[in-house]
Amino acid sequence: MTLIARDKLVVIVPALFEPEVLARLDQSSSQFPLLIRLLNRADRGTNDLQTTEQAVLHSLGYESVSADALPVAQCTYLADFSESAVSVVRADPVHLKADSDNARLYSSRALDLSNNDAEQIVSDLNHHFEEDGLMFSVGCNYRWFLSLRKSASLRAGDLKALPVTQVNGRNISHFLPDSESAHGWKQLLTEVQMLLHEHPVNLKRQAEGLLPLNSLWFFGGHGLPARRAEPRLRLYADDAFSRGLARLSAISEFPLAESAQAVRRLDGRMANNNKAGNAQSASVPAPALLVVERALERAVVAGQSEQIEAVLVRLEKLIASAQSRLWRGKLGSLELLPCDGTSVAASLADLLCFWRSGFRDDLRSLQDRPPAGADHSLPGHRDQNPYGSH
The mean pLDDT value for 203-213 works out to: 93
State the DSSP string of 216-284.
EEEE----PPPBS-----EEE--SHHHHHHHHHTT-EEE-GGGHHHHHHT--S-EE---SS--GGGGGS
CA distance 329 to 7: 10
pLDDT in the model for residue 381: 39
Task: Enumerate the β-bridge partners of residue 92.
Answer: 217
The confidence band for 144, taking pLDDT boundaries of 50, 70 and 90, is very high
pLDDT at 348 over 50: yes
276-288 pLDDT, tens per residue? 444 444 444 445 8
Q: Where are the chain's structural domains?
A: 3-64+229-368, 72-219
Q: Which of 64-78, 84-98, 105-119 has the lowest mean pLDDT?
A: 105-119
Full-model pTM: 0.87
CA distance 318 to 35: 9
CA distance 302 to 382: 12
What is 3-64+229-368's CATH superfamily? Alkaline Phosphatase, subunit A (3.40.720.10)
Q: Residue 23: CB partners within 8 Å, gap ≥ 6? A: 366
CA distance 281 to 25: 38
Q: Render the burial of 101-120: b for 16+ CB within 10 Å, e for the rest.
A: eeebbbbbbbbbbeeebbee
Q: Which of 210-224, 267-281, 308-322, 363-377 has the lowest mean pLDDT?
A: 267-281
The confidence band for 369, taking pLDDT boundaries of 50, 70 and 90, is low
Secondary structure (3-state) at 198:
coil
The secondary structure of the chain in percent helix, strand, coil, rounded to multiples of 5, reads: 45, 20, 40
325-341 pLDDT, tens per residue? 999 988 999 999 999 99
63-75 pLDDT, tens per residue? 999 999 999 999 9
